[in-house]
Structures are given as structure tokens and as C-alpha cells.
Amino acid sequence: MGRKAQDTKVGETFEARQDVGKYQAIYYGGASGDFNPIHIDREFGKMVGLGDAILQGLCTMAFTQQANINWAGGDPAKLKKIKVRFAKPVYMGDTIKTSGTVTDMDGNRATTEFVAANQSGVEVITRATAEVELD
């Protein structure tokens, strides 16, 4: 059973953490087909000025989607809309914290605004919103 709309208030907050494993970009590449060398080749990432291989942006966005889905009760079908701005790269070994706030309730739909930051507090996803359907 998911989160109840009548129990949800504007201003309510949520958080989720996700560790980015050593092989995360390879796993995501297998699922998405995105094997761009900037994601899987550390030397290539350094050569092009990224400092290292970086995680696919859509994988980082998936972490934030999961945070919203889990907050709403765990059913992926409840996520109706999501919009993010990719602000900074994510590296293998990072820990990503998604922090969200309910900014609007319209019937059984909640709008959240959220950011995702790494373990140093650097925001990697900004200006992000999601709309989730509640029970």
C-alpha cells in the first residue's frame, strides 16, 4: 500500500542515499546501451578533462526517481512526471543524497522539488521536480 494523499502535507520532506559502486556505469551501460568511453574508461575520462570516468546522467536521475518512488510508497507506476537539470558529474565511489520537499498537493497528486548532492555537498542534480500519484 502506498502513501495516502490525505496524510501528505506541503512542506513534508524526504531523503534517500545511493552509493555509486565501482562498476555502476558498466551495469547501467549494459541496461541502457550507453558505453560511451567517458563512462567506462578512466583514462579516457582523464584525457578529456573530466578527471575520471563519470556516471551516466540518466543513471543519476534514476537514483532520484527511485527516491521519489520510494517516498510515494514504492510503486514505479505512481511516478507521473520528472524534470531535472544535470549540474555536475558523478563519479564511481560517490554517495548521492536526494533531498526532496512536497511543494504542492492537487487531489491525489503531489509535486516534489528535490536536489541530489554528492558526499561533499556538491549538487549534481538541481532544479528538479517530480509529480507522483498517491493513494
pLDDT digits (tens, 9 = 90+) for 66-81: 999 999 999 999 999 9
Residues designated catalytic: 34, 39, 54, 57
> pLDDT tens across 115-132, in order?
999 999 999 999 999 999
On the CB side of 93, how many CA atoms lie within 13 Å of its CA?
A: 4
* pLDDT score at 97: 98
Q: Which three cell numbers stand for residue 50?
A: 573530466
Question: Taking residues 98-102, what's their average pLDDT?
Answer: 98
Contact 68, 37 (CB under 8 A): no
> pLDDT tens across 22-57, in order?
999 999 999 999 999 999 999 999 999 999 999 999
Domain range 5-20+57-133, its CATH number among 3.30.565.10, 2.60.120.10, 2.70.98.10, 3.10.129.10: 3.10.129.10
Q: What angle do CA 26, 34, 131 make, to 5 degrees?
A: 100
Rounded to the nearest angstrom, the gap between the alpha carbon of residue 126 and the centroid of all alpha carbons in its chain is 10
* pLDDT score at 1: 72
pLDDT at 112 over 80: yes
Question: Would you list the domain boundaries of the chain?
Answer: 5-20+57-133
- In the chain, DSSP finds a helix count (H) and a strand count (E) of 4, 5
Question: Taking residues 5-15, what's their average pLDDT?
Answer: 97
DSSP H or E stretch at residue 27: helix 24-32
What is the average pLDDT score of the chain? 97
3 state SS of 9? coil
